[in-house]
Each structure stands twice: as structure tokens, then as C-alpha cells.
Amino acid sequence: MTARIGVVTFPGSLDDRDTQRAIRLAGAEPVALWHKDKDLHQVDAVVLPGGFSYGDYLRAGAISRFSPVMGSVIEQAKAGLPVLGICNGFQVLTEAHLLPGAMLGNDHLHFICRDQKLRVESAETAWTADYTAGQEIHIPLKNMDGRYVADERTLDELEAEGRVVFRYAEVNPNGSLRDIAGITNAAGNVVGLMPHPEHAVEPLVGSGRTDGLPFFTSILKKLVNA
């Protein structure tokens, strides 16, 4: 049976269709989920896509965190449902306390859009198994509030537990502490990152690279082999 991966659309989501396409290219079935609908429609995993949900009013992701769908996402994520948060989705995951820390405005106070080099720090999560630790990849990055911050104790715990999944390589584009570009929860089923893997899944569009496709093949293999 084909794995079904839900993609949530909030008001202001921009990359939900791109994410659905990436899921389809990986061989899974994308399922559109609406932010006002508590029903996850029995999906096997969920992606919170990039964009500017609710215009990033208050704080990026702060309003979306209270959308009806997030009650179900939080409950099922704590029970083991794989969840990926991309850019704005990462911000929502921190606001929902499914991931620690917070996202602040870029240290240079400008929106950034670039092809960003990353180093894979962990291939042990549900979303990164098709990568190799230490591998360097290029993933498009576009954000205004992409600076990851946390207190020193939290940062030390993330490091000690191997929960830093990606770091910015060569240049830190937004001032994120310890060059952190993506993290995971302790169970490894919830991952958030600022760069956009859905824009690097086929050579003819987006960045012209396929470095982002393993996010979606990783989760597909996990679901098929579960």
C-alpha cells in the first residue's frame, strides 16, 4: 500500500504544492490537510511547509501553532508520527514545543534567498536516513526569521544527544547559534530545518539539484519497512 504523507496548508503557506510534488516524486501519495481540519485523514507522516503563515504576525508560526490541525499533529507526533517542519514549519514546531528553542529575525535584518551549503550531522532520524553523516549538500534557503536560538543548556543537550541534524557550512546566513540549520526531537521522528529541500528534488527546476530528495525517500523507506 502506498505511504500517505499529509501536507498542511495554513493561510500564507507558499510551498505546500512544491512539497506535495516532492512527495509524489519520491513515490508516496501527498494528502492535502487544511489548517482548520482536526482530522489528519490517517496519514502516515505530516509535513508543515514553508511560507508566511498568518503573515508572520506576532511571531513567525505563533498563530498557526493554535490551528485546529496542530492539536492533532502535536498529539500524534508525541505518539511517534513522523513530522517534518520546513522553514515556517520549523518555526511552528518550536512554537508548538515539539522542538526546543526559538526562531528570531536574521542577524543582518534582511530577507535572504540563496543556495545554501549544509553539512549533514545526523542520518539517524526518520527524515534523513538516506543521507550520510558528514555529507555536504546544497539546499535553497529563503527566510527573514531564520536565526535559531536556545539557552546554553538546551544547545549543549542537543549537541550531546546528537540532535543537531544539519549545520550551515562555509557561511552562517542568519546568525543561528552554533551554525544550526536543523534539529530533531529525542525520538527522531520530528525534524525541523530552515532550508527548503522541496526546492531541490529534480534537476530541471528549482536549484537544479536533487540534494533535497532524500528527505522524502528516507521517510518513504521508513514507512514501507515499518
- Which residues are designated catalytic? 87, 196, 198
CA distance 176 to 151: 12
Instruction: Tell me how many helices (H) and strands (E) the chain has.
Output: 5, 11
Contact 212, 203 (CB under 8 A): no
User: Which alpha helices (DSSP H) does the chain contain, by range?
Assistant: 16-26, 68-78, 88-95, 152-160, 213-225
SS3 74: helix
Rounded (10°) CA dihedral 147, 70, 2, 223 = 60
C-alpha cell belonging to residue 220? 518513504
User: In whole angstroms, what is the distance from residue 100 CA to residue 164 CA?
Assistant: 11
Alpha carbon distance 124, 43 (integer Å): 22
- The C-alpha cell 530541471 sits at 204
**Cα(79)–Cα(160) distance, rounded to whole angstroms?**
24
- In 3D space, the residue among 116, 200, 120 whose CA is nearest the CA of residue 165 turns out to be 120
